Amino acid sequence: MLSFRFARRALIVAASAALLAVGPVARAERVAVTILQTTDLHGHLLPWDYQRAQPADDGLARVASRVAAIRKETPNVLLLDAGDTIQGTPIEFLHAKNPSKGADPMAEAMSAMRYDAMSVGNHEFNFGLAVLRKAQKESSFPWLSANTRNVSDGSAAFPEYLVKTVGGIRIGILGLTTPNIPNWEPSRNRPGLRWEDPVDAAARLVPILRGKEKCDFVVVLIHSGPEVDLKTGQPDGTEDENRVVALSKVPGIDLLLTGHTHRRIPLTRINGVAMIQPGRWGDVLARVDVTFETAGDKATAVDVSAALLPSDASVATDAAIAAIAAPHDAAARIYMDTVVATAEEDFPGARARLEDTALLDFVNDTMLGATGADLAMTSLLPGRFEGFRKGPIKVRNVYTLYPYENQLVEIEVDGATLKACLEHAAEFYGSATWEDGRLVLKPKEGMIPYNFDVVQGASYRIDPTAPVGSRVKELAYKGRPVQPSDRFTLAVNAYRAQGSGGYKALKGAKVVKEFPDEIRELLIERLKKLGTVRPVTDHNWVVAPDAAWAPEAPRRSPVP
């Protein structure tokens, strides 16, 4: 018995010595990291709608208040943005037109908020590379875009990624941009640049982040959205610009922070990868909380949760951001309230997709006057717009009619291309039925209303009851039927000239001349010059089904 006890005691001592020799057993610890994201801020610094001159539940100043509160409650925070920041409000427009007056307002405000990184959006290029590079230089954080490359040597035009150590966790942030920019922006706004497919860029760089950079967690910060219906999983036809679902198949990605589509998408799993998108204009802030389990030098994400935090009236306006915005806001309000003309009567817009209107005739006539082209083509850009009312027309009214910084281009098209464009526009009518003697039209599901363009300078009729592709009738130029081989010059915005919005027939069209002026500015200048305007419509196009006279009944001979 004594020998047994002695042996047992010796075994315990030996085991304890062995444990002391290898050191204490590592215990897993938990670390929480909070990742905050905005996207598509589009120059919205304050909770104010400049077009409607009323408060709005959005803006970076409210986001800043939320960010400050979250930083107080947790030490491990990353703040990121997915692009389209320096365009979209009169604040940014006025700065772009006079950039020597100081730092870019968004760059200054986001730097004050201590953003960690931003991916480059397509609208960053709207005012040209000089304005873009200026704002980039004035930002205290990197602008990332791994798939934007220099044509000359294939090198990266922006930093590709950023590695940050937060709470001891190495986090890799890969920046990517929608590759469809060449189909939206004229070449002068993007000289010497090309865009790689984001999926190829990720496949090339994610292994580097995982390997060489030893990242524990890889975030893709991309100005692009999902290219499928998230409910059905079916492609939605936007794969040229949206690449998030394809990206989710690249091994090694842990989180997709997305943008571009202006949607509020709560935390969603795509092919097992977490994805989120926080709307637009700072209307919500995405908060993603990641819990890591660490053991030694290894960290593993064991839980991911998220929320979309709204910028409603319950959120205070951050004083520091409001102070940065104040002088720009004052100038923008004065600018938007400037009266540029007087309308003698209403210029209604409600029926602009059903009949020719003085409103769109005014836009097209302005483009024709600036270019001297044979034809002009435009659309009613807002989804719903009541038009100009009788009385003073202010700059804000023109902004509502034409909200985008689209530049003017004159291109050359043939008769076949012209008809193809009009046929695409005519697809807008999804159904046409007769109800109580009236033709009732319903728009095609999924077709964006501003992709219904109308042409000035030619006459035509649309038969919405005819098959798609055969709806445009009696297309004529100066009274003569248009032949497929006829040649015309066409005034159109730069976005459409690249074939965007389904107008693929225009892709590759010969550019006759590019104009530096935004179409909205041309409208403002014309209104100022005229002073007083009255609505005039030439009714060069109509919506009317094919019709024919019924054959007359044979006359009976008189009975003798």
**Chain segment 477-502, per-residue pLDDT in tens:** 999 999 999 999 999 999 999 888 88
Residues 309 and 406 grouped into a single domain: no
- Percent with pLDDT over 70 in the chain: 93
Name which of 20-24, 310-314, 409-413, 495-499 the model is least confident about. Answer: 20-24
* The predicted structure's pLDDT at residue 417: 98
Calculate mean pLDDT across residues 110-117: 98
Is the confidence at residue 552, as pLDDT, over 80? Answer: no
- pLDDT band, residue 122 (cuts 50/70/90): very high
Is the confidence at residue 369, as pLDDT, over 60? Answer: yes
Q: Cα separation of 88 and 437, whole Å?
A: 44
CATH number of the domain residue 125 falls in: 3.60.21.10
Is the confidence at residue 4, as pLDDT, over 80? Answer: no
Domain boundary among 278, 299, 332: 332
- pLDDT band, residue 556 (cuts 50/70/90): low
Q: Could you tell me which residues are beta bridge partners of residue 490?
A: 375, 411
Residues 305 and 382 grouped into a single domain: no
Reduced to 3 states (helix: H, G, I; strand: E, B; else coil), residue 405 is coil
The DSSP symbol for 355 reads S
- pLDDT band, residue 22 (cuts 50/70/90): very low
Residues 404 and 535 grouped into a single domain: yes
Q: Cα separation of 304 and 309, whole Å?
A: 16
- pLDDT band, residue 23 (cuts 50/70/90): very low
CATH number of the domain residue 343 falls in: 3.90.780.10
Reduced to 3 states (helix: H, G, I; strand: E, B; else coil), residue 132 is helix
Is the confidence at residue 195, as pLDDT, over 80? Answer: yes
**Residues 149 and 194: beta-carbon distance below 8 Å:** yes
Residues 82 and 119 grouped into a single domain: yes
Residues 422 and 461 grouped into a single domain: yes
Calculate mean pLDDT across residues 187-194: 94
Domain-located, residue 549: no
Domain-located, residue 246: yes
Domain-located, residue 3: no
Domain region containing 122: 38-332
Domain-located, residue 79: yes
Calculate mean pLDDT across residues 530-547: 95
Calculate mean pLDDT across residues 126-143: 97
Is the confidence at residue 17, as pLDDT, over 50? Answer: no
How many independent structural domains does the chain possess?
Answer: 2
Residues 390 and 313 grouped into a single domain: no
Q: pTM score, two decimals?
A: 0.88
Residues 377 and 287 grouped into a single domain: no
Is the confidence at residue 227, as pLDDT, over 70? Answer: yes
Distant-in-sequence, close-in-space partners of 409: CB < 8 Å, separation ≥ 6: 186, 491, 492, 493, 494, 497, 511, 513, 514, 515
- Percent with pLDDT over 90 in the chain: 83
Is the confidence at residue 378, as pLDDT, over 60? Answer: yes
* The predicted structure's pLDDT at residue 504: 92
Domain-located, residue 491: yes
Residues 300 and 403 grouped into a single domain: no
- pLDDT band, residue 517 (cuts 50/70/90): confident
Residues 309 and 400 grouped into a single domain: no
Is the confidence at residue 3, as pLDDT, over 80? Answer: no
* The predicted structure's pLDDT at residue 385: 85
Residues 256 and 170 grouped into a single domain: yes
Is the confidence at residue 145, as pLDDT, over 80? Answer: yes
42, 129, 224 from 133: Cα distances, Å: 17, 6, 21
Domain-located, residue 420: yes
- pLDDT band, residue 2 (cuts 50/70/90): very low
Is the confidence at residue 431, as pLDDT, over 80? Answer: yes
Calculate mean pLDDT across residues 71-77: 96
Name which of 1-10, 25-34, 213-222, 269-278 the model is least confident about. Answer: 1-10
Domain boundary among 280, 297, 332: 332
* The predicted structure's pLDDT at residue 27: 56
Domain boundary among 312, 332, 352: 332
Calculate mean pLDDT across residues 115-141: 97
State how far Cα 432 lies from the chain centre: 32
Residues 233 and 315 grouped into a single domain: yes
Domain-located, residue 9: no
Calculate mean pLDDT across residues 342-359: 95
Among the listed residues 329, 366, 332, the one whose alpha carbon sits nearest the alpha carbon of residue 528: 366
Phi, psi of 415 (to 5 degrees): -65, -35
Residues 358 and 319 grouped into a single domain: no
Domain-located, residue 311: yes
